[in-house]
Amino acid sequence: MQSKLKKVIQPPEFLGILGGGQLGRFFTMAAQKMGYSVVVFDPDKQSPAGKIAEKHICKPYNDLKALDELKASCSAVTTEFENVPAETLKYLEKDIIVRPSSKAIAIAQNRIKEKDFLIKIKQAPARMQKHNGGDPVEIPPPPESEWGSAMPVGTYVVIDSVESINNIDKELRIFPGILKIAEFGYDGKGQIHVNNKTELEAAFKTFKSVPCTLELKLNLDSEFSIVLARSVDGEFIEYPPIQNIHNSGILEFSSVPNASYDFLDKLYVNLTKRIANELSYIGVMAVEWFIADGHFFVNEIAPRPHNSGHFSIDACVYDQFDQQVLALTGNKLKQPEVEFPRSVMLNILGDLWFRDGTQKEPKFEMIAGLGINLHLYGKAEPRIGRKMGHITILGLRDETQEDVMKRALSIREILWKN
């Protein structure tokens, strides 16, 4: 294995991806563009990536024989989503390259482990000096065990039993809160808002008493994400910060207001890099951030390309999926080269197909125009809440970000009214 880890994987070798949704499909397209072949592992026969890959292993993630077949088909594998069992990744890791590692995925796929990992990232205190009448003398830093946490995480408690509910300290002021299942939640699923211990107990029962986190509901001013990639050599590239607007817990708009970074942007990028370094991460990673009451907090880590990073497909020379392929294959990453510094992405959910009660195709032909790029994921069945595609609206020469957002809003209106 050790010698394999150093090697750059060359096309036309096969690359593996666990999960065949839209993220897997974009990965497959990026890999194929570079001359690689792709084997998709996804239990769904209709999976969007499975349809276009050279090979599709259509078996459950815990099917060891099928995983052996995957191992025999490729020398390196990545994942498109964090809900692949960490055991599956560990099993693959014994014989082939898995990037990001099972260890990194195991942390990012479990909200309890993730928060625990984040608060343990320590920061050295600012250097202090004291004056003894004469020249200032530097005070030696305290031992590392006394350093503060470097990552701002919102107030939370672990809920894994009725006892843990009874034990919540009033002083914590955790209500109103959001109870989130620790594993397998996505797009706002597996979350219940609760105002007191009685509601919390009921919500915990609704989740069949699986381990959860209870988070203080923050008064959000805004949400944004940092998408970056880290190579085998520990080198980084990052995309400009992306502002995210959610609707019912699902991302609706992602807006990239400019490609230049101010002081705060640099801070967020550096903290996100710190997280990736602590995970010895190889691949594309996103961190979702909250700004609430003037403070910023880490929300969660996505150990993969991120929905909010889709603007990069149209706005950059090298998109987040190109970086995923480059990192997986042990290549050097490429600077994204943002060609369109202003853009807005609009997610297209299955809801649009049911806009007047019965199922009918959206009239995408009505929104065609300069700088408007429609991506459909080739999903057979539209369903409420299901991501079917997205539209990137690129800011043209003299447009401000407000102009681009206005166009995005009117595109949404046209699609919904026709």
Q: How far is the CB of 188 from ligand ADP (least distance, A)?
A: 5
Is 184 an interacting residue with respect to ligand ADP (CB under 6 A)? no
Query: Per the omega criterion (within 30 degrees of 0), is the bond before 240 cis?
Result: no
- Is residue 53 within 8 Å of residue 40, measured between CB atoms? yes
DSSP string computed for 43-76: S-TT-TTTTTSSEEE-S-TT-HHHHHHHHHH-SE
- Is residue 238 within 8 Å of residue 224, measured between CB atoms? no
44 binds, among Mg ion, ligand ADP, none (CB under 5 to 8 A by kind): none
Q: How far is the CB of 62 from ligand ADP (least distance, A)?
A: 22
Q: Decide whether 43 or 249 has the Cβ nearer to Mg ion.
A: 249
Q: Decide whether 187 or 403 has the Cβ nearer to ligand ADP.
A: 187
- The Cα 160–Cα 271 span in angstroms is 30
Tokens of 306: 């991120």
Q: Decide whether 11 or 188 has the Cβ nearer to ligand ADP.
A: 188
Q: Is 173 left (phi over 0), alpha (psi -120 to 50) or beta?
A: left
Q: How far is the CB of 159 from ligand ADP (least distance, A)?
A: 14
105-144 mask for ligand ADP (x: CB under 6 A)?
A: ----------------------------------------
Is 252 an interacting residue with respect to ligand ADP (CB under 6 A)? no
Letter for the amino acid at 71? K
Is 172 an interacting residue with respect to ligand ADP (CB under 6 A)? no
Q: Decide whether 101 or 308 has the Cβ nearer to Mg ion.
A: 308
Query: Per the omega criterion (within 30 degrees of 0), is the bond before 43 cis?
Result: no
Q: Decide whether 108 or 338 has the Cβ nearer to Mg ion.
A: 108
Give the dihedral of Cα atoms 148, 150, 154, 159; nearest 10 deg. -70
Is 344 an interacting residue with respect to ligand ADP (CB under 6 A)? no
26-45 mask for ligand ADP (x: CB under 6 A)?
A: --------------------
Q: Residues binding ligand ADP: what is the number (CB under 6 A)?
A: 16
Is 152 an interacting residue with respect to ligand ADP (CB under 6 A)? no
- Is residue 392 within 8 Å of residue 404, measured between CB atoms? no
Task: List Cβ<8 Å contacts ≥24 apart for 305-308.
Answer: 305/23, 305/26, 305/27, 305/80, 305/227, 306/225, 306/227, 307/251, 307/254, 307/347, 307/387, 307/390, 308/225, 308/227, 308/242, 308/244, 308/251, 308/254, 308/345
User: Which residue number has the CB closest to ligand ADP?
Assistant: 218
Q: Decide whether 21 or 50 has the Cβ nearer to ligand ADP.
A: 21
Q: Decide whether 97 or 271 has the Cβ nearer to ligand ADP.
A: 271
- For 162, phi then psi, to 5°, come to -60, -35
For 320-340, letters b (16+ CB in 10 Å) and e give: bbbbbbbbbbbbebeebebeb
Q: Decide whether 101 or 109 has the Cβ nearer to ligand ADP.
A: 109
Is 249 an interacting residue with respect to ligand ADP (CB under 6 A)? yes
278 binds, among Mg ion, ligand ADP, none (CB under 5 to 8 A by kind): none
Is 305 an interacting residue with respect to ligand ADP (CB under 6 A)? no
Location of structure tokens 């929905």: 307
Binding-site member from 80, 300, 314, 322 for ligand ADP (CB under 6 A): 300
Residues engaged in binding Mg ion (CB under 5 A) = 288
Stretch that binds ligand ADP, among 90-98, 114-122, 217-225, 401-409 (CB under 6 A): 217-225
Tokens of 18: 């666990």
The contact set with ligand ADP (CB under 6 A) reads 154, 178, 185-188, 215, 217-218, 220, 223, 246, 249, 288, 299-300
